[in-house]
Chain A
Amino acid sequence: MIDEDVLRALVAEAAESFPPPREPLPQLTEGRAEPPRRRARPFVLGTVAAGLVVLLGLVGLTVADRLRDGSARTVQNASGDAGDGLTSEPTAGGGTATGVPAPGDAAGGAGGGGDGGQVAPPLQATKVVKTGAVEVAVGEGAVDDSVTRLTSLAVGSGGFVAESRTFEQGERPAADITIRVPGAAFEQVLGEVRGLGETQSVTTAGQDVTAEYVDLEARLRVLRGTRDQLLGLLSRATTIPDILAVQDRLNATQTEIERLEGQQRVLDDKVALGTLKVTVTEDRSALNTAAAKPRSGLAKAWDDAVDGFTSGVEGIVAASGRILLVVLVLAALTAMALGGWKVLRRRLL
């Protein structure tokens, strides 16, 4: 162990051995007190990079949210166990034919004329034809009541009963009823139908007919233009053969216009009102079995536990992507904070 005084003397000797500073301390009070600018340090660059990562992460989260919201809306529209890709559809409500008024609608009936294909058509809303079939087993003597409830359900939602038939299935009464309900109320009605009894099967489908609708509109626009031109020619025709020739063409064009308008009306009707076919049967055995054998508390608890575990795992797997992103963002934020602290500390001291 070296003695303190000796060490002090040696250190002093060593310190004095260094040459005096080449330059005096700069005049601190004459505005030269700014420290020299430092080159960008790696950790400064790292901080900038971390900032970019954070920005990208936030953008990613936003995009993911939008995507998730979009898919959630689709699932919500599919309602229940349908899951077959029903598409959302903007509707004007109240059983109107389409979500967006089409140019053809404005032109209205035959001979209206006037749109001539010169105005660009507005952006077409999605047109979806919704159909579904449900089999419901109801309790003893409840078939007639169910038919009545279905009728009032259809009428109450702004639709109607398209077809109704009651029959005997073996010795049990049954009914087939086809109801037409507005597209906007389709899912709600479907849910209420399922609530009539024990659902045996559910099938739903959504057919996107937007392209077909747009095609019809385009063809109608062209034909209406042609019709207007023919009418102009007809007014200027002076000879009988000319008048007859133009009249023939005009008749053919008008017939085609009416045919396409008919198709358009059918399509509008299908889009405006979804078709739901409901089969109601009386199924005592199923109801009785379900009533006679209630699950014990332990079995129910076990099933609940399994369900809970499965949903938890599904939830974790589903959230893993988001969690990873959040972890990355947090790591980047931490790196940025550490880098910033380093810079701050260096600047302060």
Chain B
Amino acid sequence: MVDDLAVWLQGAYGQAYRTACLILRNPVDAEEAVQEAFLRVWRFRSSLPDGDGRRPWVYRVVVNTCLSRRRSDRRKSGGDVDVDLHLTAMAAPEPGPEAAAAHRDLAGALIAALGALPEHLRVPVVLRYWAGLTEREIAVAIRRRPGTVKSRLHEARRRLGDDPRLAALASDTEEVAP
């Protein structure tokens, strides 16, 4: 059981880290938050549910750690942290300059659009479209009813659709995708 959990956490670490990145928009903070969250999960592993219940529970810890870290940073800095500058500097390398620029545009636009969303909309979007949690699992992770999750996802998609830069990139993606 213990070894199984350790292996599972090692496997989930990368995805949870990027989830935290999308929520916090700061890789350094995200890494610290996820490490802290996973250590907490490990510390309280006796109360961790088995099987399918494990994933939403672990993401609940990750989300809570991220949000409390974010609130703490806000208190310390007196406002929201502008981390968009991180994106250019820390984006993953691409094979060529043009491709890298395009990648940065796409990622930057999406991350900026996510950043424009309020927390209660951003978190469900990240959990649904990156971590791949179902609406029911998200409901467990953020301690809300599934109906609330559904309406928040709907509202988030509507707002993201209204973002002009993202809409342009989305249409490009749709054209490329087929």
Contacts and interface: CB of A to CB of B under 8 A. Distances in A.
Interface of A: 1-26, 28-29, 33-36, 346-349
Bin the interface of chain B by size. Answer: 35 or more
B27 A29 contact: no
B18 A19 contact: no
A346 to B, nearest CB: 6
Contacts of A9: 173, 177
B170 A14 contact: no
B39 A35 contact: yes
A83 B60 CA distance: 68
B170 A34 contact: no
B39 A26 contact: yes
B117 to A, nearest CB: 12
A35 B10 contact: no
Interface string B21-57: 1100001001100111011101110010000000000
Contact of B18 (A3, A5, A10, A15): A15
B134 to A, nearest CB: 13
Contacts of B5: 28
A7 B17 contact: no
A14 B30 contact: no
A278 B17 CA distance: 95
26 contacts: A1-B161, A3-B174, A7-B125, A9-B173, A11-B125, A11-B130, A12-B129, A12-B130, A13-B107, A14-B107, A15-B18, A15-B22, A16-B18, A17-B87, A17-B103, A17-B111, A18-B18, A18-B27, A18-B92, A19-B91, A21-B17, A21-B34, A25-B13, A26-B35, A35-B36, A348-B44
A24 B22 CA distance: 19
